[in-house]
Structure 1
Amino acid sequence: MKTTRQDYGNIVYSCYVQLSRQGEHFVSDHVISYQVAGDLILSDGVNDYRSEKGSIRFLKRNQLLKFTKQPPPGGEFQSLSIHLDQQTLQDFSLAYDVASEKKCSTNSLVVFDSSPQLKTYMDALMMYQKSGQLSDPRMVELKIKEAILLLLQANPELKDVLFDFNEPGKIDIEAFMSKNYHFNVNLDRFAYLTGRSLATFKRDFEKIFGKTPGKWLLQKRLQEAHYLLAEKGRMASDIYMDLGFEDLSHFSFAFKKQYGLSPSKIGGF
C-alpha cells in the first residue's frame, strides 16, 4: 500500500492509494480535519459518521474511534488535519483572554458542511501544503491560530470544549465498558478515560463485573463474535478487527478454546 504522511508540527497531510479497511485511534487532542478526497467512516461505538469529499469535521479529544478510509475509484484518499494540543490552546486562551465558562455536552464529532469561511481556509491550507510553505513553523503557528478563530466563529459553543483543560472525571465503568469493549486498547487507556488510576480501575471493575478486566473483555468479545457468526451469518475475517482482536489467528484460537469449535464451523472465513 502506498502511503504518504507529511507532518508539519500540528498540521498533518495524509494520502492513501488503497483501501485502509479499518483501524483504531485514541483521539488525544482536539482535531479539525478536512476530507480532500475519498470517504472516511468513523465509529464511536454507538454511531457511524461518514465524511465525504469537501467535508470538514471537528473531533473532541479523549475519545476512542474506529475508522475506515476509502479512496475514490482510481484515486487517492486525502485528508488534512489540524491537531489542537492542550499547550497550544492554553497559550491561545491567555493571549486572547478566552476561557471555558461551563461544561459542554457537544457531540464527539461536529461536521461543518455549511461554513464557507472554513472551506476557504482549508482550500488555502492545501495550497500552502502543495507549495511547501507549511515547512515554515511560523506559518504553521499562524494558520493554527486562524483555524481556532474560524472554528469559534462557526460554532461559538465550542469555546467551552476547546478551553476545558480538565482531565476525564470519574464515570460509570459498566456503561463505558459496555459501549467500548470492542476497542483494542490497553487497560491504562480505559482507566484514564473512566477517570481512574489503573489500580483503582481494576479494583472497581472486579467489584462490578466479578472478574478481571482481561477475562471480561475476552468473554464479551467472544460472545458477540458467536452471535454475529451464528445469527447474522457474518464471516470471521470481517468481524475479528471490529471486536478488538489483533489478528485472525488469535481470534480463531480464542474462539475454539471458548466454544470447542473453530469460527469456520459456525460462520466462515
Structure 2
Amino acid sequence: MPERDDNKRPQILYSCYFARSREGEQFVPEHVFSYHMAGSATMNDGENTYTFNEGDFRINKRNHLVKFSKQPPEHGEYKSLSVYLDQDTLRQFSLEYGYKAAKPHDDSSSVIRLPSSELLISYVESLKPYHQLQQPGNENLLSLKLREAIFILLKSSPELANVLFDFTEPGKIDLEAFMNKNYHFNVELKRFAYLTGRSLATFKRDFEKIFHRSPANWLVHRRLQEAHYLIKEKGKAPSDVYLDVGFEDLSHFSFAFKKTYGVSPSKV
C-alpha cells in the first residue's frame, strides 16, 4: 500500500466505511487519538492484537507498525474520529506549559486503550460541527482544538505525559528480532531502517551480516514461507493470506509463490 503524504493529512479526521476495509496506515508516524463512533476495529502490531468497539477510545503511539481491519455494524457504516498529535504541536505545548516526560514510557505496546470519561466524550462531541475545520482560515481554531485534546488527555490519564512528551527517536535495536516480528508489514526499507535506529546503508549492511542475503530477497522468502504454512497447514485460501504476509497484490504473490515452490498457491 502506498504510504500517505503526512503533510496533506488532516489533523482531525472522520472515517466512514460501508464495507470492511483491510487498509490502514502500516507505519504510524505521529500519535493518534481516536474515538470509535460505530462498528469495530482490530489492530495487530506483529505481537499483540487489539479490538475496539463503539464508544471506545484509544491512542496509537508514533513510530510503530500496525495493521488495521475495520468492520461496520450490520446494515450500517463504520465511523471513527481521529486526532493527529504531531511532534511540532506537542513540542510547543511542552514549552508553553512545562509538561515533560518524567521517564521513558514502556514501548512494548503500540496501542493504548483509554478509559472513557465525561471529558473525553464531551470533547469528541464538540468536534462534530467542525467538518470544515481543515479549510484555510481556521488554523487558529484548529490549533485550539488540538491543545484542548492534549489537556483533556492529560487530565483523564496523567501518565500519558510520558508518552506524548517523549521526543526521543528510535535507538539501535536487535535487527534480527525486529525483522522476524515485522517482516509481514509492507513498508519501505527506509522505514525498517528508521525503526531499528539505523541509516538505510547501515541497515542493509547489518542485515546482510545477519541473514546472509539482501533485505528484499529475505523479505520475499520469509513472506512466502509464512504463506505456504498458512495455506498448507492452516487451510487458508491464497486470497486470504497474501495481504497478511506483506504482498501488495494477488498476482505478484501467486507468481512469486509458483517460482519458489513450483506450483501455484491454489494447488497446494
Please give the TM-score of this superposition, normalised by the length of structure 2: 0.92
The corresponding residue for 1:116 is 118
**CA displacement 1:37-72 (0-9 Å, x = unmatched):** 111111101111111111110110000111111111
For residues 24 and 122 of structure 2, what CA distance do their matches in structure 1 show? Answer: 30
Q: How far apart are 1:79 and its partner, in Å?
A: 1.0
The corresponding residue for 1:3 is none
- Which runs of structure 2 are paired with 1:214-229 in the superposition (5 Å)? 214-229=216-231
Q: Which moved more, 1:11-20 or 1:86-95?
A: 11-20
Q: How far apart are 1:196 and its partner, in Å?
A: 0.3
What value does the CA root-mean-square deviation take over the aligned residues? Answer: 1.6
Please list every run of 5 or more consecutive structure 2 residues that lacks an aligned counterpart in the other structure: 1-7
The corresponding residue for 1:42 is 43
Q: Which moved more, 1:16-25 or 1:43-52?
A: 16-25
**CA displacement 1:159-180 (0-9 Å, x = unmatched):** 1111111111111101110110
**CA displacement 1:1-33 (0-9 Å, x = unmatched):** xxxxxx894111111122213444210000101
- Which runs of structure 2 are paired with 1:242-253 in the superposition (5 Å)? 242-253=244-255
- Which runs of structure 2 are paired with 1:16-165 in the superposition (5 Å)? 16-105=17-106, 107-126=109-128, 128-129=129-130, 132=132, 135=135, 136-165=138-167
CA contact (8 A) 2:94 2:100 kept: yes
Report the secondary structure of 1:176's partner residue.
helix
Higher relative strand content: 1
Flag the 1:232–1:139 CA change in 2: closer, same or farther, 3 A.
Answer: same
For residues 233 and 24 of structure 2, what CA distance do their matches in structure 1 show? Answer: 25
The corresponding residue for 1:231 is 233
The corresponding residue for 2:215 is 213
Percent of aligned positions with the same letter in both sequences? 57
Q: How far apart are 1:213 and its partner, in Å?
A: 0.7
The corresponding residue for 2:12 is 11
Residues 1:183 and 2:185 are matched in the alignment: yes
For residues 160 and 24 of structure 1, what CA distance do their matches in structure 2 show? Answer: 24
For residues 37 and 48 of structure 2, what CA distance do their matches in structure 1 show? Answer: 23
CA contact (8 A) 2:100 2:162 kept: yes
Report the secondary structure of 2:26's partner residue.
strand
For residues 105 and 71 of structure 1, what CA distance do their matches in structure 2 show? Answer: 32
CA contact (8 A) 2:183 2:223 kept: yes
Please list every run of 5 or more consecutive structure 1 residues that lacks an aligned counterpart in the other structure: 1-6
Report the secondary structure of 2:149's partner residue.
helix
Flag the 1:151–1:229 CA change in 2: closer, same or farther, 3 A.
Answer: same
For residues 116 and 33 of structure 2, what CA distance do their matches in structure 1 show? Answer: 15
Flag the 1:81–1:66 CA change in 2: closer, same or farther, 3 A.
Answer: same
CA contact (8 A) 2:56 2:116 kept: no
CA contact (8 A) 2:172 2:198 kept: yes
For residues 22 and 213 of structure 1, what CA distance do their matches in structure 2 show? Answer: 24
Report the secondary structure of 2:32's partner residue.
strand
| Amino acid across the alignment from 2:59 | F
Report the secondary structure of 1:45's partner residue.
coil
The corresponding residue for 2:169 is 167
For residues 114 and 24 of structure 2, what CA distance do their matches in structure 1 show? Answer: 24
Q: Which moved more, 1:20-29 or 1:165-174?
A: 20-29
CA contact (8 A) 1:8 1:137 kept: no
Counting matched residue pairs gives: 258
**CA displacement 1:119-156 (0-9 Å, x = unmatched):** 22112222x235x5665322221111111011112222
The corresponding residue for 1:4 is none
Flag the 1:116–1:203 CA change in 2: closer, same or farther, 3 A.
Answer: same
